[in-house]
Amino acid sequence: MLNRRAFLKTSAAAIPATAAFSALDPVKTLAEEEAASKIAPSAAGMVALPDRLAPVTASVPWQQKIRRVAQSNMTEHDPAVMNVEEWAEYWHSTGSEIIFVSVTGILAFYPSKVKFHRHGKFLNNRDFFGECVAAAKKRNMRVVARMSPDLNWGDALEAHPEWAMRNKDGSAQFSTEEPRLFKTCMFSTYMDDYMTAIIREINSLYDVDCFYTNGWPPIGSLPDCHCAICNKLPPTGTTAYWRVFNDRIFELWQKYDALAKEKKPDSFFFANLGGSVHAGPNLDRLGKIAAWYQADNQGRTYEDAAVWGCSQQGRVCTAIMDGKFAANVTAAYSTGSPGWRNASKNPAEATMWLNETLASGMVPYYHFVGSENGLGEDRRWQKTGSDFLRWTEKYDPHLTTRRSVANIGVVMGQSTQLLYPGPGLKPARRYMHETTQGLYDALLRGRFAFDYVHEDRLDAARLRKYRALLLPNIAMLSDRQCEQIRDYVKAGGSIMASFETSLYDENMNKRADFGLADVFGVSKAGEVIGTNGNPYYARIEKPDAAQKHPLLEGFVDTNWIPGAQNRLPLKPVENPLMTVVPGFVRYPPELAYPPASHTAEPAVVLRESGASRIAWFPGDLERTSWITGHGDILRLLHNTLGWLTHDERVVRVDGDGLVEMFCWETDPGYAVHLLNYTNPDAQHGWLQSSFRIGPQIVSMKLPANVRVKSVQLLKAGTNVQFGIQNQLLHFTIPHVDDYEVAAISIA
- Detail the DSSP E strand segments found in 244-383: 269-271, 292-295, 325-331, 333-334, 340-344, 363-369
Report which of residues 424 and 620 the model is more confident about.
620
CA-CA-CA-CA dihedral for 197, 200, 206, 211, to nearest 10 = 90
| Domain 408-644 indexed as CATH 2.30.40.10 | no
Q: Are 659 and 675 in contact (CB under 8 A)?
A: yes
Q: Do the beta carbons of residue 569 and residue 601 sit within 8 Å?
A: yes
Angle between helices 347-359 and 309-321 (to 10 degrees): 20
More confident residue, 29 or 469: 469
d(CA 122, CA 81): 9
Residue 487 has pLDDT above 80, yes or no: yes
Percent of the chain with pLDDT over 90: 85
Task: State pLDDT tens for residues 89-143.
Answer: 999 999 999 999 999 999 999 999 999 999 999 999 999 999 999 999 999 999 9
Whether 183 has a pLDDT exceeding 70, the answer reads: yes
Q: Which amino acid is at 166?
A: R
Residue 1: per-residue pLDDT? 36
pLDDT at 632 exceeding the cut of 70: yes
- The model's confidence at residue 375, banded by pLDDT at 50, 70 and 90, is low
pLDDT digits (tens, 9 = 90+) for 488-513: 999 999 999 999 999 999 999 999 99
Segment 177-197 shows an average pLDDT of 98
Does the structure show a pLDDT above 90 at 37?
A: no
- 469 forms beta bridges with 409, 495
Angle at which helices 428-445 and 631-644 pack, to 10 degrees? 70
Instruction: Give pLDDT tens digits for 519-567.
Output: 999 999 999 999 989 999 999 998 665 568 999 999 999 999 999 999 9
pLDDT at 40: 52
pLDDT at 652 exceeding the cut of 90: yes
Q: How confident is the model at residue 685 (pLDDT cuts 50, 70, 90)?
A: confident
Q: How far apart are CA 335 and CA 298, in angstroms?
A: 7
Higher model confidence: residue 575 or residue 544? Answer: 575
In this prediction, residue 741 carries a pLDDT of: 98
For residue 673, pLDDT over 90 is answered with yes
313, 276 in Cβ contact below 8 A? yes
* Residues 240, 536: Cα–Cα separation, whole Å: 37
CA dist 646 and 13 (Å) reads 19
pLDDT band at 727 (very low <50, low <70, confident <90, very high): very high
Asked if the peptide bond before residue 217 counts as cis, ω within 30 degrees of 0, the response is yes
What does residue 600 show for φ and ψ, rounded to 5 degrees?
A: -100, 5
The pLDDT assigned to 565 comes to 96
Range 8-25 average pLDDT: 34
Classify residue 299 as exposed, middle or buried by CB count within 10 Å of its CB (0-12, 13-18, 19+). Answer: buried
Would the pLDDT of 171 be above 60? yes
Distance CA 218, CA 271 (A): 10
Domain boundaries, the chain: 4-40+653-746, 69-145+187-396, 408-644
- Model confidence at 425: pLDDT above 60: no
d(CA 274, CA 317): 9
Q: Is the pTM of this model over 0.75?
A: yes
Confidence of residue 2 (pLDDT cuts 50, 70, 90): very low
Distances (CA, A) of 586 to 535, 578, 594, 625: 9, 22, 10, 19
Tell me, what's the pLDDT at 32?
42
Q: Please report the pLDDT score of residue 372 as a whole number.
A: 57
The pLDDT of residue 30: 45
Instruction: Return the pLDDT at 507.
Output: 95
Q: Does domain 4-40+653-746 have CATH number 2.60.40?
A: yes
Reported as a single tens digit per residue, the pLDDT across 318-346 is: 999 999 999 999 999 989 888 888 889 99
Q: 17: pLDDT confidence band, cut at 50, 70 and 90?
A: very low
pLDDT, position 745:
98
Tens of pLDDT, residue by residue over 247-292, are 999 999 999 999 999 999 999 999 999 889 999 999 999 999 999 9
Question: Which is nearest to 147 in space by CA: 187, 188, 184, 94?
Answer: 184
Average pLDDT over residues 155-184: 97
Give percent of the chain with pLDDT exceeding 70.
Answer: 92
CA atoms within 13 A on the CB side of 668: 16
Q: Could you read off the pLDDT of 192-250 as tens digits, one per residue?
A: 999 999 999 999 999 999 999 999 999 888 999 999 999 999 999 899 999 999 999 99
- CA 512/CA 625 separation, integer angstroms: 28
Topology of the domain covering 69-145+187-396: TIM Barrel (3.20.20)
- pLDDT value, residue 5: 39
Q: Are 625 and 442 in contact (CB under 8 A)?
A: yes
Q: Which alpha helices (H) appear in 498-558, and where do they start and end? A: 517-520
Q: For the chain, give the mean pLDDT.
A: 92
